[in-house]
């Protein structure tokens, strides 16, 4: 393994941002079977009212207001609150809905860790087994001492020091081999360093020990007892579940996992995980870094000094467990922070602080107000896009200007799918080649052509969300779209938001039609932003922003651009489209009865 794996990963990140696909090592795209909504319903948790479980409805309504006011930071998509094992409140910011399985990123680690616990309980493996004992056929000829002492326990507690990281996984198709050949930064067991490939190795160990895929192992032991009917896990190029990310679960099913731990591994009177495992997994096994993650790390679970703990995923998936309140709070969001930062934790804890062990008097008015607040939740455009409105009369003018127009786009790096989703699945666009508009009733349809792919989204004149399914190379995602618009004598502007509702990611397109020369400009943006997502990845792989900029500077000098121009082009690409001359309109307008001339003899 190249000793400069971090720098190779950094160079790969820069190539991705520059859309330099020709120089990105590729082992081929693998179609992932992500869970689809609309199938079997999972077994629901019992429902109750906040007052019946000792909490005021007005307190939870205030929590929703606080979260809604923080859409620019926390970016909430869904929230569920359990007290005493019962759901007392749940809210989904439209177009996100309860039935959508959601990409969990690093929250998946806690489920992989749970699978290890079950396997240990069954006597299938020991935490003190070494990688050398489990994968003797892959032992490198160098670094023998480090691999001989690296154990399953150190994978669980993020203490292997391995350099092979998440971004580096795009460099080769054999991830176990790459991990085994990587020179550790430090002797295993001597320090903490967060790395998703530690969890992937746990998944690979489970597959080897059990002789079956991780999902197949977990279904009868965890998912079926919890009533989780629909779940899917993305796999690596060799077919092993990714372990550290890639699991899809509905919010309620994720909350069940937190409740299982709160109940010390027992569900409906049946023990699924040993009490000893739950106690050890949720207590501090590793000292972590300072700041928001300073409480410590257990077995693939983040711990806090007050006894609470959380399953945590990048871009804002959280299952927060509060034993002191007998409560579980599950949340999906589109936040670019690595952890549930202090502000979010403060809001949640403040809502639970006054909880009573006894039921409160019922308060029908407060409860009705809470339920109405839950129903009103809706994703909003970021403030920099909010200038245009949704006036129906202006929509008629806009759609009239764009109806049946096609635009051939200049070469660009952007497509319908958010860049983060492309990177996670290795499913890269070649760029948007053609954009077409067409008016159908009260909607304006926008069709994207990317090489051999065509996808259509739509905008409703009343500003409603319109659901759709989009695909790239056979990989499908549920999505929805809505727009805001304005028309001036010189331009027509249409901003369209497209949440990929099975993920934390949202595409935002800004279409500007120049009425004077007939051209179209398209700005491709996404939430969380590419800039923030990139900085989070740098933090994950242990590279500073300074090192990133140092590596990027040669490309900037070569292009002749200013730094700000380069960064804007990387983070929010803009492409110009030329109108397609529709020279076949005369043919299309021929009367139906007109016959073609017979061919010349």
| pLDDT digit string, tens, across residues 109-143 | 999 999 999 999 999 999 999 999 999 988 877 65
Q: Report yes or no on 421 lying in a domain.
A: yes
* Domain total of the chain: 2
- The pLDDT score that the predictor gives to residue 363 is 98
| pLDDT digit string, tens, across residues 546-568 | 766 666 666 656 666 665 666 66
Same structural domain, 406 and 315: no
Among 330, 345, 373, the domain-final residue is 373
Same structural domain, 401 and 268: no
Same structural domain, 248 and 301: yes
- The pLDDT score that the predictor gives to residue 561 is 60
As a whole number of angstroms, the distance between CA 273 and CA 110 comes to 13
Same structural domain, 198 and 136: yes
Residue 593 has pLDDT above 80, yes or no: no
Q: What is the mean pLDDT of residues 298-325?
A: 94
Same structural domain, 310 and 391: no
Residue 103 has pLDDT above 70, yes or no: yes
CB 434 within 8 A of CB 452: no
Among 373, 405, 439, the domain-final residue is 373
Residue at token pair 């949440």: 499
Q: Report yes or no on 10 lying in a domain.
A: no
Same structural domain, 505 and 356: no
- The pLDDT score that the predictor gives to residue 184 is 85
Same structural domain, 313 and 399: no
Q: Report yes or no on 588 lying in a domain.
A: no
- The pLDDT score that the predictor gives to residue 566 is 62
Q: Please, which pLDDT band fits residue 165 given cuts at 50, 70 and 90?
A: confident
Same structural domain, 337 and 455: no
Q: Report yes or no on 590 lying in a domain.
A: no
As a whole number of angstroms, the distance between CA 559 and CA 106 comes to 36
Q: What is the mean pLDDT of residues 364-391?
A: 93
Q: Report yes or no on 1 lying in a domain.
A: no
CB 56 within 8 A of CB 246: no
Q: Report yes or no on 266 lying in a domain.
A: yes
Cβ neighbors of 309 (< 8 A, separation 6 or more) are: 261, 282, 298, 301, 302, 303, 320, 321
Query: Picking from 201-215, 407-421, 552-566, which range would have the lowest pLDDT averaged per residue?
Result: 552-566
Q: Please, which pLDDT band fits residue 36 given cuts at 50, 70 and 90?
A: low
| pLDDT digit string, tens, across residues 239-264 | 999 999 999 999 999 999 999 999 99
CB 316 within 8 A of CB 503: no
Q: Please, which pLDDT band fits residue 171 given cuts at 50, 70 and 90?
A: confident
Same structural domain, 345 and 400: no
Q: Report yes or no on 274 lying in a domain.
A: yes
Among 373, 402, 432, the domain-final residue is 373
Same structural domain, 154 and 258: yes
Q: Report yes or no on 209 lying in a domain.
A: yes
Same structural domain, 325 and 465: no
As a whole number of angstroms, the distance between CA 69 and CA 395 comes to 28
Handedness of CA 407, 408, 413, 415 (dihedral sign): positive
Same structural domain, 392 and 365: no
State the CATH number of the domain containing residue 130.
3.40.710.10
For the record, the structure tokens of 328 come out as 């579980």
- The pLDDT score that the predictor gives to residue 44 is 95
State the CATH number of the domain containing residue 566.
2.40.128.20
- Domain region containing 142: 32-373
């Amino acid at each position: 393994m190249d000793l400069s794996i971090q720098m190779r990963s950094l160079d790969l990140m820069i190539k991705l941002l520059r859309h330099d696909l020709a120089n990105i090592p590729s082992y081929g795209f693998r179609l992932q079977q992500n869970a689809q909504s609309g199938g079997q319903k999972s077994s629901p948790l019992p429902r109750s009212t906040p007052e019946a479980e000792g909490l005021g409805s007005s307190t939870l309504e205030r929590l929703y207001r606080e979260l809604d006011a923080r859409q620019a930071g926390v970016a909430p998509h869904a929230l569920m609150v359990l007290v005493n094992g019962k759901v007392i409140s749940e809210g989904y910011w439209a177009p996100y809905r309860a039935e959508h399985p959601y990409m969990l990123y690093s929250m998946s680690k806690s489920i992989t860790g749970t699978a290890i616990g079950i396997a240990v309980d069954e006597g299938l493996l020991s935490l003190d087994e070494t990688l050398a004992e489990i994968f003797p056929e892959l032992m490198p000829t160098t670094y023998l001492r480090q691999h001989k002492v690296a154990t399953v326990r150190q994978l669980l507690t993020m203490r292997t020091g391995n350099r092979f990281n998440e971004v580096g996984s795009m460099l080769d198709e054999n991830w176990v081999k790459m991990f085994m050949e990587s020179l550790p930064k430090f002797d295993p067991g001597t320090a903490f360093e967060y790395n998703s490939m530690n969890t992937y190795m746990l998944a690979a160990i489970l597959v080897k020990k059990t002789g079956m895929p991780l999902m197949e192992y977990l279904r009868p032991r965890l998912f079926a007892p919890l009533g989780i009917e629909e779940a899917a896990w993305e796999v690596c190029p060799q077919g092993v579940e990714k372990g550290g990310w890639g699991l899809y679960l509905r919010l309620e099913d994720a909350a069940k996992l937190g409740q299982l731990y709160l109940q010390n591994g027992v569900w409906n009177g049946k023990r699924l995980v040993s009490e000893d495992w739950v106690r050890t997994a949720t207590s501090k096994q590793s000292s972590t870094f300072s700041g928001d993650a300073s409480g410590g790390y257990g077995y693939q679970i983040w711990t806090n000094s007050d006894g609470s703990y959380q399953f945590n995923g990048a871009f804002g998936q959280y299952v927060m467990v509060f034993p002191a309140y007998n409560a579980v709070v599950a949340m999906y969001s589109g936040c670019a922070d690595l952890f549930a930062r202090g502000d979010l934790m403060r809001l949640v804890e403040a809502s639970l602080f006054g909880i009573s062990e006894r039921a409160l008097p019922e308060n029908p008015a407060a409860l009705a107000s809470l339920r109405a607040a839950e129903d009103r939740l809706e994703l909003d455009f970021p403030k920099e896009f909010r200038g245009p409105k949704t006036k129906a009369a202006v929509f008629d003018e806009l759609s009239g200007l764009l109806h049946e127009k096609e635009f051939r786009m200049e070469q660009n790096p952007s497509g319908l799918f958010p860049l983060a989703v492309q990177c996670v699945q290795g499913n890269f666009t070649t760029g948007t080649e053609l954009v077409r508009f067409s008016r159908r009733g009260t909607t304006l349809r926008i069709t994207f052509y990317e090489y051999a792919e065509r996808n259509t989204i739509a905008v409703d004149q009343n500003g409603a969300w319109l659901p759709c399914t989009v695909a790239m190379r056979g990989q499908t995602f549920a999505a929805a779209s809505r727009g805001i618009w304005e028309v001036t004598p010189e331009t027509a502007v249409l901003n369209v938001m497209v949440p990929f509702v099975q993920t934390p990611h949202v595409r935002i397109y800004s279409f500007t039609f120049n009425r004077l020369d007939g051209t179209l400009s398209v700005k491709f943006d996404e939430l969380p932003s590419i800039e923030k997502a990139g900085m989070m990845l740098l933090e994950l792989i242990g590279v500073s922003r300074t090192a990133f900029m140092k590596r990027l500077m040669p490309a900037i000098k070569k292009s002749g651009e200013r730094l700000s121009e380069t960064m804007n082009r990387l983070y929010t690409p803009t492409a110009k489209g030329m109108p397609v001359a529709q020279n076949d309109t005369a043919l299309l307008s021929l009367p139906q009865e007109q016959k073609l001339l017979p061919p010349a003899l």
